[in-house]
């Protein structure tokens, strides 16, 4: 599977809210991808003025885009729904993430049943230190005008 042709066109995000640079491994039950939050991102200007830190909500979003949505596109037929929405997240923030540091997201499938997908996710730095870990779940979303 090719990220650029098989998954990227189906992602419902675009810059500046696309937090996926590449998918480096994807197979049944597992996905691994990376992203770099660049120091020129607007939110860093006000999130701890002396030492900017990546907001946890954006680390969660990155984990969801790679570990949930990209994996869902791989697992399901993306033509059957236009979006895959996060329904819950339970994340534990262990270490801070700073601008211009590449992160890796690894996710393992917990279950997929009745249209709901649940994943164990980890956000790691390049030294394989766990920055964030938790569970994210989601399901396909159809809007009234798409039925």
Residues 6 or more apart whose CB falls under 8 angstroms from that of 114 comprise none
Active-site residue identified among 34, 47, 81, 97: 47
CA distances 36 to 69, 87, 111, 118, 126, Å, are 18, 25, 28, 25, 11
Catalytic (active site) residue 47: yes
| Residue of 66, 82, 67 lying closest to 18 (CA atoms) | 66
Active site residues: 47
């Amino acid at each position: 599977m090719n990220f650029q042709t098989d998954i990227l066109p189906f992602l419902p995000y675009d810059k500046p809210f696309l937090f996926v640079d590449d998918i480096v491994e994807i197979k049944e039950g597992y996905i691994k991808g990376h992203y770099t939050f660049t120091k020129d991102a607007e939110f860093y200007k006000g999130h701890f003025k002396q030492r900017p830190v990546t907001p946890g909500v954006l680390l969660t979003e990155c984990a969801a885009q790679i570990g949930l949505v990209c994996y869902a596109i791989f697992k399901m037929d993306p033509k059957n729904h236009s979006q895959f929405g996060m329904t819950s997240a339970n994340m534990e923030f262990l270490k801070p993430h700073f601008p211009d540091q590449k992160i890796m997201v690894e996710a393992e499938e917990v279950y997929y049943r009745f249209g709901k997908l649940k994943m164990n996710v980890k956000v790691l730095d390049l030294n394989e230190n766990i920055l964030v870990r938790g569970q994210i779940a989601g399901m396909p979303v159809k809007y009234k005008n798409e039925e």
